[in-house]
Chains A and B, each alone.
Chain A
Amino acid sequence: MADSAIGRPAVRWGALRRHRARRWSGVSPWQAAPVTLALLVFTAYPLVYLVALALTESTLAQPLREWVGTDNFRAALENDVFTGSLWRSTVFAVLAASVQLVAGTALALALHARGRRLGLLGGFLLLPLVTPPVMVGVAWKLLLAPVGGALNGALGLAGLAPVNPLGDERGAFLALVVIDTWQWTPFVALLVYAALLGVPGELREAALLDGAGRLRLLVSVVLPYVRPALLAVLLLRLVGGFKVFDIVYVVTAGGPGAATNTSTYEIQRTALESFKVGTAAAETLLFSLVVGAVATLVAAVRRRAVRAER
């Protein structure tokens, strides 16, 4: 894009560049200073501070009052709601990310088969992305409301019995997966679509010349080519799934029972509603370990895929 605007550079610059390249690395380390500071404030300091909070007794008014050793970790691990939330969050992240990856890829393939331009659909796909999750939650909660919700209204018109997914443990969990999928599938589709545009035409033609059918082309040529992008998107959505908070807060408040009590929701409440700061800090660290393990696993698979590509 910029190439055409600027034109190719004059040839003599090449010689000059070689001459001066050694002295000029171009960027200054100072340009990395602000982001380093941001990482220190937003990631390093919180981790260190969390360890301190987890090993001491604190109140919201007064942090770090008294050393308590591993008491907070013990309290966290004995809290069934929290340990259950680790499992729930993992299941939620894996399930939602997988569904979104499959649905988004299917959508991207359909869009790609239609042509190289998204046109109006591009804008349409952006809308769920820019809709606040709180609003998405409100809309779905009202849609699924047992009395007055549109879902039961529609079922009633069709002569079917009303349902109440949010009143049922499994139903509420699946409803959250559906809501998250509604919000994020278009995002996945946009990214996969962009990756599909990068598949070289020659590759397709060669495969077709070799007599590959459409399905064969997809499975043996196209999908392997975009695999690194697919895994990157999967990683993004897995992390996003672990972060889920807004729709839990609005739609189910963790219920019924603890069926949708995800870790982020449970920790936020332990910290800022029950004011058990130390326990919440220990829980946060344990939760980070789980997220880190899952993210590392997917990142390693992706790195292998990228390397295999080269």
Chain B
Amino acid sequence: MSRRWITALLALVAALMAVPLVYIVSLSVRSRDDVLNGGLLPSTLFWRNWPDTFGSIDLPRHLANSWIVAAGGAALTLVIAVPAAYYTARARRGGERLLSLVLASYCAPPVVAVLPLFYLLRTAGLGNTLTGLALVTGLANVPVAVWLLDGFVRRVPREVEEAAWLDGLGSWGALRHVVVPLAAPGIVASGLICFFLGYNELLFALSFAQETSVQTLPVALSRFQGDRNIQFGQQAVASIVGVAPVYVLALLAQRRLVAGLSAGAVK
């Protein structure tokens, strides 16, 4: 295939991929009647959806909930996964065994955790709280983070670590002063990926944080469906408001994220 054909093909794929996103943006500025008339693009711009959405659901609250859960969860994931990845990358047999155990646990469908953690959170007084949901989200993403981080830690040259030991640093010191700084790009990428996973999560959020005050954005978005008159426009506005900051974050960290995902894959 010639280069030109490939570029044309890729452009077509990109256009197809963009359709749902463009459609959401177009819906956000269309009235209900305009939407029901069909078509991909608005016939007239209808801005009322934007203020109306903020009137019908507490969008800032849901956004804040999502950020708290995603950021708190990602922080917890990293605290657990960074030392774990150091162990899996460096502790030969034991490390390999731990890594396969972690990956096996990733294969368990998350619905396994729903009922047991529901009771555990309630017993701990964390049912229907953001703290509880952040804890669960943090634990849920540990396997992904260990899998990604393991690749980054392996790339830290052993000699530097050994020099640190000779300077009298213990294993925690070497982790903190050598491995973490040298693997920092990978840690940032893994943290961001866990953040996105937590931000987008629905199953646990729906199961453990049902009350309106602690609902995350995906839960609030999915609840829009319940109304008899689906508010296409408002649903679109809520989607855009929710996804825009994440898109900005992803595009800013684009290179690191791509490298981060690749590091996991090519082992």
Contact = CB atoms under 8 A, between A and B. Distances in A.
A130 interface: yes
Interface in A45-76: 45-47, 49-50, 53, 60, 63
A27 B139 contact: no
Nearest to B203: A245
Given A31-B175, A110-B6, A287-B111, A233 B265 contact: yes
Contacts of B83: 31-32, 34-35
Interface stretch (A94-102, A137-145, A167-175, A201-209): A137-145
A254 interface: no
Nearest to A107: B13
Nearest to A190: B261
B250 A110 contact: no
A250 B102 contact: no
A295 B35 CA distance: 43
Interface in A132-171: 132-143, 147-150, 152-154, 156-157
Interface in B104-148: 105-120, 139-140, 142, 146
Contacts of A150: 19, 23, 38-40
A195 B246 contact: no
Given A42-B142, A245-B202, A113 B1 contact: yes
B109 to A, nearest CB: 5
B218 A134 contact: yes
A233 to B, nearest CB: 7
Contacts of A186: 17
A131 interface: yes
B60 interface: no
Interface of A: 1-3, 5-6, 8-9, 13, 16-17, 20, 24-32, 34-39, 41-43, 45-47, 49-50, 53, 60, 63, 107, 110-111, 113-114, 118, 121-143, 147-150, 152-154, 156-157, 182, 186-187, 190-195, 197-198, 229, 232-233, 235, 239, 242-243, 245-246, 249-250, 263-264, 267-268, 271-272, 277, 280-281, 284, 287-288, 291-292, 295
21 contacts: A9-B157, A16-B166, A17-B162, A29-B87, A35-B83, A42-B142, A46-B115, A50-B112, A122-B254, A128-B17, A143-B19, A154-B40, A193-B262, A198-B266, A239-B107, A243-B111, A246-B222, A250-B221, A272-B207, A280-B115, A291-B109
In order of increasing CB-CB distance, the 10 nearest A-B pairs are A153-B38, A194-B262, A35-B84, A9-B159, A31-B83, A49-B116, A139-B20, A46-B116, A191-B265, A132-B200
